[in-house]
Amino acid sequence: MNQFWENEYIQIAANYSVVILCMIVFLAIFEAVTKYRNWEEIKKGNMSVAMATGGKIFGIANIFRYSIEQNESLVMMIGSGVFGFVLLLAGYFIYEFLTPKFKIDEEIQCDNRAVGFISMVISIGLSYVIGAGIS
């Protein structure tokens, strides 16, 4: 059975499957903490929500990229990825806290593209910092 798990293609498929599952769970968590419904807003053409959500997707994937590179075992990869996601989520709340003059979620829901763009860049930027910390 060890030979099965040592196969490079099996490892790639396992990492891929786990990251997809984690992505779904993490996006559901982001959906729960925002005041708007991501996919409903995207369906309506809200570019700000699309940019913010795209940044989150890229950020999560980038964190797992570093996690996969750094960890030999699937369990350790998941642990690093979950930890990275928690840090990314904390970054979201810090961003909200540091902008007391307006509510990030409300601006994004109203399709304020400047706020959506900054949200996207923050998610992407933090994912590189988090990833560097993981590796």
Tokens of 99: 């902008």
Task: Look up residue 60 and give its amino acid.
Answer: I
Q: How far is CA 88 from CA 4, 24, 26, 27, in A?
A: 34, 15, 10, 12
Q: Taking residues 8-16, report their average pLDDT.
A: 91
- pLDDT for 125: 97
Residues 93-122 have a mean pLDDT of 93
pLDDT class of 102 with cuts at 50, 70, 90: confident
CA distances from 35 to 29, 38, 79, 91 (A): 12, 9, 28, 17
Q: Kindly report, residue by residue over 38-66, the tens digit of the pLDDT.
A: 999 999 999 999 999 999 999 999 999 99
pLDDT at 1: 62
Residue-wise pLDDT tens digits, 69-92: 998 888 999 999 999 999 999 999
pTM, to two decimals: 0.90
